[in-house]
Amino acid sequence: MKRRDVMRWMGIGTLASAAGRLPFGSGAPVLAQSRPSAARPSFVPDVELALRAGPGEARILPGAATQVWRFTGELLKGPPETLHVVPDSYLGPTLRLRKGQKVRIRFSNALPESTIVHWHGLDMPEAMDGHPRLVIGPGKEFIYEFEVVNRAGTYWYHPHPHERTATQVYRGMAGLLLIADEEERALSLPSGAEEIVCVLQDRRFDARNQLTYLAGGMMDQMRGFLGDRVLVNGQERPSLALATRAYRLRLLNGSNARIYKLVWSDGTAMTMIGSDGGLLQRPLQRTAVTLAPGQRAEVLLDLTGRAVGASLELRSAPYPAATVDAAAMGMGRGRGMMGGMVQGAVPNGAPLSIFTIRVARREASTFRLPSRLSTFDASWEKTPIGPPRRVTLSFQSGQWLLNGRTFDMMDVAPEETVAAGSTQIWELVNLPGMMGMQMAHPIHLHGPQFRVLSRQHTAGADADAAIVREGIADEGWTDTVLVMPGETVRILVTFTRHPGLYLYHCHILEHEDMGMMRNFRVTGAAGA
């Protein structure tokens, strides 16, 4: 791969317009009450984008092109680096925003069904958060206007229509949203050609190179859909020619249900520098980084001193499938049983090659990773209000549930009401369900990033789970936390200051669509 190709692959260096002009003003959104149906003249954006969801084609496998659904975008106003088209990919454009920017996004729906966009990890006013009740129909437009308040980090966007999120994401609808700020800039982390973005997604194809989905029926839904190949930015097992210098990798697990345990093939430590919510206080040296669906990690890879010609692979290391897919459908705690039950699927925990790096040339590099990355952590320990709120994750009557409840568009239970800007401890308890049905669930909360306080697990039967847990880092800010079977995870959450209806759910997208999702209502005035 030539340097130019590498840059293309990373989505750097190609600007703007895959979309062409968009049909604006094609109608008012449904449920117009609380939402702007038109741009507000009083809102003066620093950045304005057109984003369109529609059918398209992508070259993924050799031979026929694959029909996909995808986001395309166009920069209407703002710095040219704001929008990067990811080349040779179905992924939506990578959006690069800065903290403090005011952003307007004119989103138009050219799909044959309803959709809405959610900005995963961002603290948003209610009307901008992409709640499924805000979906817009085919041919309609939705205008997002918001200020970027999050700190620097690797975030992403994807659709959020109820019962259709998994399908739409699977067909290709997702993109990265990278935020920069002053604290991060001062570190001079590797950037440009030294910054590599990797969106990991597993897929299955038929003989004509078309995506297949839920071929395993019920079982695929209960467990979450697993593909048989992993794509990186929409390409299978790409190879990267790099230099003898330091690289910043931004990794997103954009898969519907697969959990990766990422390692370097030669045993090099994973130097983790960031999590879902941005930079860690200090770099962490891990043997592995476990990434559940929805989660991100930033890793520094220093190739200084490597021999030209050497190669290195990013892999997902093996772990016992039963630790995350345990005891499903009355089959007992059979190891890997679930994987075997769906034809063609590669089970969770199967060893996978993600991409290969080849050291292609010598280049001098003076980059030194600072021992202190961020001071943002200093303020996180706040006093929670009231006793911990218990949220059980369970399986009953053929459904994945939160506190025994399924999703209902507008329903909020009394204990799902929280005061704006308040802090609580939520205790996520992963219980064994009917016939022992129990799985690992990545639980995601909309709104500001939170912290993981503790993990407790039932003693015994633990040695296998430890293989997955080894890669879980709870040191940073996060918006999605993996709760292993039998585990109780305590998180400390400070809720958004914006009042309104927000979501928490499992980020195994089939679970989310099946109703393992609930609203919570934030009460009180903004800024109060």
Binding positions for Cu ion, rule: CB under 5 A: 120, 441, 446, 506, 508, 511
- Minimum CB–partner distance for residue 147 and ligand C2O (Å): 20
3-state helix, strand, coil in the chain (%, to 5): 15, 40, 50
If we measure between CA atoms, which residue out of 255, 46, 235 comes closest to residue 169? 255
Q: Look at the block and give the residue holding tokens 């990355």.
A: 373
Nearest 10 degrees: Cα torsion 217, 160, 427, 389:
-120
Q: Does 505 bind ligand C2O (CB under 6 A)?
A: yes
For residues 91-110, which are near ligand C2O according to CB under 6 A? none
User: Which member of 140, 171, 444, 451 binds ligand C2O (CB under 6 A)?
Assistant: 444
Cα–Cα distance for residue pair 400/257, rounded to 1 Å: 14
Using CB under 6 A, pick the residue from 127, 503, 508, 522 that binds ligand C2O: 503
Q: 73 or 442, CB closer to ligand C2O? A: 442
Say if residues 411 and 377 touch (Cβ distance below 8 Å): no
Q: How many residues of this chain interact with ligand C2O, rule: CB under 6 A?
A: 10
- Residue 294: contacted member of ligand C2O, Cu ion, none (CB under 5 to 8 Å, by partner type): ligand C2O
Q: Which lies closer to ligand C2O via its Cβ, residue 121 or residue 227? A: 121
Distance CA 136, CA 208 (A): 32
The number of beta carbons lying within 10 Å of the beta carbon of residue 427 is 18
Stretch that binds ligand C2O, among 40-48, 106-114, 419-427, 501-509 (CB under 6 A): 501-509
Q: Which is nearer to ligand C2O, 296 or 306 (CB)?
A: 296
Verify binding: residue 162, ligand C2O, rule CB under 6 A.
no
| Sheet containing 260-264, strands listed edge to edge, beginning at the edge strand earlier in sequence | 239-243, 352-361, 311-316, 260-264, 289-291
Give the interface segment with ligand C2O, choosing from 60-68, 71-79, 300-308, 499-507 (CB under 6 A).
499-507
The order of strands in the sheet holding 399-402 is 399-402, 389-396, 423-430, 487-494, 451-457
Q: Toward ligand C2O, which CB reaches closer, 120 or 306?
A: 120
Binding-site partner at residue 85 among Cu ion, ligand C2O, none, CB < 5 to 8 Å by type: none
- Asked if residue 294 binds ligand C2O (CB under 6 A), the reply is yes
Q: In the bound complex, what is the minimum distance in angstroms from residue 195's beta carbon to ligand C2O? A: 23
Q: Which is nearer to ligand C2O, 223 or 507 (CB)?
A: 507
Other CB atoms within a 10 A radius of the CB of residue 88 amount to 17
- β-pair partners for 159: 117
CA-to-CA separations, 140 to 29, 48, 173, in angstroms, rounded: 6, 18, 17
Which residue, 106 or 441, is less far from Cu ion as judged by CB?
A: 441
**164 scored as a contact of ligand C2O (CB under 6 A):** no
Give the residue at shortest CB distance from ligand C2O: 120
x/- track of binding to ligand C2O for residues 445-484 (CB under 6 A): -x--------------------------------------
Kindly identify the residues of this chain, within the stretch 114-133, that bind ligand C2O according to CB under 6 A: 118, 120
Q: Which does 160 bind (CB under 5 to 8 A by kind): ligand C2O, Cu ion, none?
A: ligand C2O
Q: Where are the beta strands (DSSP E) in 206-302?
A: 229-232, 235-236, 239-243, 246-253, 260-264, 270-275, 278-286, 289-291, 296-302
Cα 293 to Cα 218: distance, rounded to the nearest angstrom: 20
Tokens for 475? Answer: 């040191």
Q: Sketch the per residue contact string, 171 through 190, with ligand C2O: x for CB under 6 A, - otherwise.
A: --------------------
Sign of CA dihedral 408, 414, 415, 419: positive
What string of DSSP letters covers 113-155?
A: S-B-EEEET----GGGS--GGG-B-TT-EEEEEEE--S-SEEE
CB of 292 to ligand C2O, least distance (A): 12
Phi and psi dihedrals of 127, rounded to 5? -70, -15
Q: Which range binds ligand C2O by CB under 6 A, 249-257, 302-310, 327-335, 502-510?
A: 502-510
Q: Is there a contact between 108 and 480 (Cβ–Cβ < 8 Å)?
A: no
Residue 160 binds ligand C2O (CB under 6 A): yes
- Least distance between ligand C2O and beta carbon 168 (Å): 12
User: What secondary structure does DSSP assign to 71-110, as a single string?
Assistant: EEEEEEES-GGGEE--TTSSSPPEEEEETT-EEEEEEEE-
Q: Write out the two tokens for 67.
A: 């029909």
Q: Which stretch binds ligand C2O (CB under 6 A): 236-244, 455-463, 485-493, 500-508?
A: 500-508
Contact partner at residue 518 from ligand C2O, Cu ion, none, CB < 5 to 8 Å by partner kind? none
* Contact residues: ligand C2O, CB under 6 A: 118, 120, 158, 160, 294, 444, 446, 503, 505, 507
